[in-house]
């Protein structure tokens, strides 16, 4: 297979990953690293670098739309990005020091967690426990649009959410994924933020977190433009197509199928890591 054919196949694989990621809410970035590593035999650190570039590209467009619609809490996003960006730099620094087999095993475990998180139905709106002193000082409380008009909500558990965001950022930097599932769980469960606000704010944060990680990978020479370009274009195009198909698709079935694919990839990543094949 020559360079042109390899580029075309990588672009097509990234397109499928972006398409399925848009339909299931996991994003195409989480499939890119296993795809490049297991199918195309690319070094896992270069695969992570390419995945980070695709995450930055795909999250930016969706984030702008959610901000315009009024769902995203920009103040919370900017505050929590302090933790995620610091964590992302720490994770990216670890990536250059850890053996590739260790990174592969960690990636497999995170894939299993993501498959489990995506299979769960959206939780009911959390019970409003009233204002929180720290959230009030930081002015994090806000409102979001509903069918009945703007709905006010209070933010709680700021220290717990901030700590979990550092962990999510570290995972993002180490593995080249958005770690959106962990961010949503942190905001939804720990900070008691409505689910729609959690998901949209998480999307707003993902691009910034990935950019912080990508800077470290770029400095270390792990971002290859010849690899990152077809991956970015493929995932971006696939995400746009997926967004068009989403209103007519049976997302429950797609989530099951995509979850099974992610579980298989996770098992392969863990197996290859434990046997030293990566």
HSE, side-chain direction, 13 A CA sphere, residue 45: 19
Answer positive or negative: Cα dihedral of 97, 98, 100, 103.
Answer: negative
Please give the distance of CA 191 from its chain centroid, rounded to a whole number. Answer: 19
Give the model's pLDDT for residue 104: 92
Are 134 and 48 in contact by the 8 Å Cβ rule? The answer is: no
Token pair of 269 as six digits? 């990543």
Q: What is the pLDDT of residues 215-271, one digit of tens each?
A: 889 988 999 999 999 999 998 888 778 767 765 766 567 667 777 878 888 899 999
Q: Which residue has the tokens 């400095």?
A: 219
Give the model's pLDDT for residue 27: 65
Q: What is the pLDDT of residues 128-145, one digit of tens each?
A: 667 788 999 999 999 998
Give the model's pLDDT for residue 183: 86
Please tell me what DSSP assigns to residue 278: -
Q: What is the pLDDT of residues 219-232, one digit of tens each?
A: 889 999 999 999 99
**Length of the chain (residues):** 278
Give the model's pLDDT for residue 25: 59
Say yes or no to pLDDT of 120 above 70.
no
Give the model's pLDDT for residue 180: 75
Q: Which residue has the tokens 């993501």?
A: 114
Q: What is the pLDDT of residues 154-179, one digit of tens each?
A: 999 999 999 999 999 998 888 888 77
Under 8 Å CB-to-CB from 180, ≥6 apart: which residues?
26, 27, 199, 202, 203, 206
Assign 37 to helix, strand or coil: helix
Which segments of the chain does DSSP mark as H helices, in order? 3-24, 29-34, 44-69, 74-95, 100-119, 133-138, 158-175, 180-185, 195-219, 225-245, 251-274
């Amino acid at each position: 297979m020559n360079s042109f054919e390899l580029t075309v196949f990588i672009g097509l694989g990234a397109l499928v990953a972006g398409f399925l990621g848009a339909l299931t809410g996991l994003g195409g970035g989480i499939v890119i690293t296993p795809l490049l590593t297991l199918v195309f035999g690319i070094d896992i650190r270069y695969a992570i670098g390419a995945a980070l570039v695709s995450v930055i590209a795909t999250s930016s467009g969706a984030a702008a739309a959610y901000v315009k619609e009024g769902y995203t809490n920009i103040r919370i996003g900017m505050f929590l990005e302090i933790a995620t960006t610091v964590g992302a730099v720490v994770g990216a620094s670890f990536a250059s020091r850890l053996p590739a087999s260790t990174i592969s095993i960690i990636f497999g475990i995170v894939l299993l967690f993501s498959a489990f998180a995506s299979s769960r139905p959206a939780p009911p709106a959390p019970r409003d426990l009233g204002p929180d002193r720290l959230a009030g000082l930081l002015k994090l409380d806000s409102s979001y649009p509903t069918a009945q008009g703007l709905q006010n909500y209070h933010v709680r558990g700021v220290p717990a959410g901030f700590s979990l965001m550092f962990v999510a950022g570290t995972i993002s930097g180490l593995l080249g994924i958005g770690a959106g599932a962990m961010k949503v769980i942190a905001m939804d469960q720990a900070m008691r933020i409505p689910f729609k606000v959690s998901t949209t704010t998480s999307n707003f944060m993902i691009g910034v977190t990935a950019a912080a990680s990508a800077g470290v990978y770029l400095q270390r020479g792990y971002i290859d433009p010849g690899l990152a370009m077809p991956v970015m274009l493929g995932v971006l195009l696939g995400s746009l197509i997926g967004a068009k198909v989403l209103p007519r698709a049976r997302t429950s079935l797609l989530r099951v199928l995509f979850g099974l694919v992610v579980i298989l990839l996770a098992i392969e990543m863990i197996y290859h890591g434990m046997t030293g094949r990566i």
